[in-house]
Structure formats: C-alpha cells, structure tokens
Amino acid sequence: MMALLGGLVPARDEQPNRSNHMVLKLGSIGLKGHVGTVLAGVKQLGDVEVVAVSEDDPKLLASLMQREPLLKNAQVYTQWRQLVEHTQMDVCCVADESGVRLEQLFALMQRGVHIVSEKPLATTSADLERLRPPEAKTSSDDRLRVIGTKGVIEVNEGDETISLITGDKTERIPFGETENLFVEFVNFLRGGPSPRITVDDCFYITEAVLLARAAADELKLITLPPPHPVRGSK
C-alpha cells in the first residue's frame, strides 16, 4: 500500500487538475517498493511524463532504466536532494529507504509538490506529529491480520486474495476489480473524487502501525485513538 498526500501541499499557480488534462510531470525519489504500481498507472493514464528519478543503488537503477521505457527520457540523479532542487514536477513518488523518508516528504511539501509515498510516513510517533500540519488536531511485517471472536482475516502484501480462517478451515476470497491507486490519485488532483486511501487514512494507518509496534515491544495491549482530520484532506 502507498500513501497519497495530495491535500497537504501549499496552493500553487498551476495545479494538475485543469479540465484540459495537461501533461502531468512525475518524479521519483528512489525506485524501490511499489514503484511498479505507479508506473502501471502512468501507462494507463497516458498523459503523465516521468521527468526525473533518483536512486543510490546503481544496480537497481541500471536494471530498471534498461527494462522500463517510461524512464528513457528521465533525468537521472544519484542524490535525491539534487532531484528535488532541480526538477519541476507536479507529483513525486517517494520510494526510498524509510529512515530518510521524513526529510524527503518535508522537502517536497515545502515546494508544493503532491506526493505518493511508500509506507510508513514516519518511523516514530514524534516524527509523524512533525509531519502533521500544525492546524490538525493530534491525538516489518507486511501481513495484515484482524482477529475476531469467530475467526481471523489475513492478507499479505502482494496477495490477490484475503484469507478467512475459521477453526481448521481457511477460505481464500479474491479481491474485486479495483482501479490503480496512482490513477485514482491523479484523477483526484484533476478534480475527481477522493481516492480510496485519503490523507486522513495515511496518517491514521501510520499512527496505528507505530502504536502496534510499541505494543509488541512492550508486550501490552493498546487502544487506538479516534482518527483526526488532516488539514486540506477531503
């Protein structure tokens, strides 16, 4: 899953939600994680140009540049700060290491760039609060598991089904057809409906993950706080 931060950036004179659907310029900080989902959305939209990429792993960079035609005209950087400083873009995919993500998100937000980011947004609760707009009220397992009184539902990243476990029985339930998340995000920026994953969802999911990690480290139960709206989200 990726975080879609389309409502947190300052207003700019030009936004990619014009009715004439101007070509949207996309950059990518890092080529790890769910970049494939974003590139699949670029192909589906047809009017998005990948203008720049940065990646500090030369083998990964060379491999993806060789096999992905969408990147053939992109300016290549080995340092993400150079990309941010020298690239005019409407949206940036943040798919680098988790430890540097917060600084990258701040740099993009300060420049008014919309963001589609890998999870988590932050690695500590304190950093998540730093990322949250000041007007907002506050309060490595890829498996999602929900335990109920009569069974368990479980999904692993990359799965195409949900596992429903009741007693000794496991049922595989396929996902329904859904639109590419990046396509949803771009359509939202162009004035369409909110994507399935909203800005509020991104912050709340990150908060829940951090609390769950603390619960595992401290061997105690946690209570999730109610979600709070984030400024600028729909």
Tell me if 154 is assigned to some domain: yes
Instruction: Verify that 163 and 71 share a domain, yes or no.
Output: no
pLDDT at 157 over 70: no
Buried b (16+ CB within 10 A) or exposed e, 162-171: bbeeeeeeee
pLDDT, residue 135, reads 58
pLDDT of residue 167: 80
* Residue 97 within any structural domain of the chain: yes
101 vs 105: CA distance, rounded Å: 6
Coil/strand/helix, residue 122: coil
Task: Please check whether residues 155 and 185 belong to one and the same domain.
Answer: no
Is 29 within a domain?
yes
The answer to whether residues 148 and 187 belong to one domain is no
Domain with 99, as residue range(s), is 2-124+181-195
Residue 225 within a domain: no
What is the pLDDT, as a whole number, of residue 139?
45
Same domain, 99 and 186: yes
Q: Is residue 219 part of a domain?
A: no
196-233 pLDDT, tens digit per residue, is: 888 889 899 899 889 988 888 888 888 888 887 775 55
CATH value at residue 188: 3.40.50.720
Q: Are residues 82 and 188 in the same domain?
A: yes
pLDDT (tens digit per residue) in 5-36? 765 555 455 555 444 568 999 999 999 988 99
Please write the tens of the pLDDT for every residue from 59-107. Answer: 999 999 999 999 999 999 999 999 999 999 999 999 999 889 999 999 9
Same domain for 37 and 153, yes or no, is no
> Would 228 be classed as within a structural domain?
no
- Determine contact, residues 157/148, Cβ cutoff 8 Å: no
Tell whether 161 is covered by a domain.
yes
- Looking at the structure, tell me whether residues 50 and 112 fall in a common domain: yes
How many domains are there within the chain?
2
Q: Is residue 33 assigned to a domain?
A: yes
Same domain, 64 and 82: yes
17 or 49: whose pLDDT is higher?
A: 49
Residue 81 shares a structural domain with residue 119 = yes
For 106-132, letters b (16+ CB in 10 Å) and e give: ebbbebebbbbbbbbbbbeeebbeebb
Q: Is the pTM of this model over 0.85?
A: no
| 45, 158: one domain | no
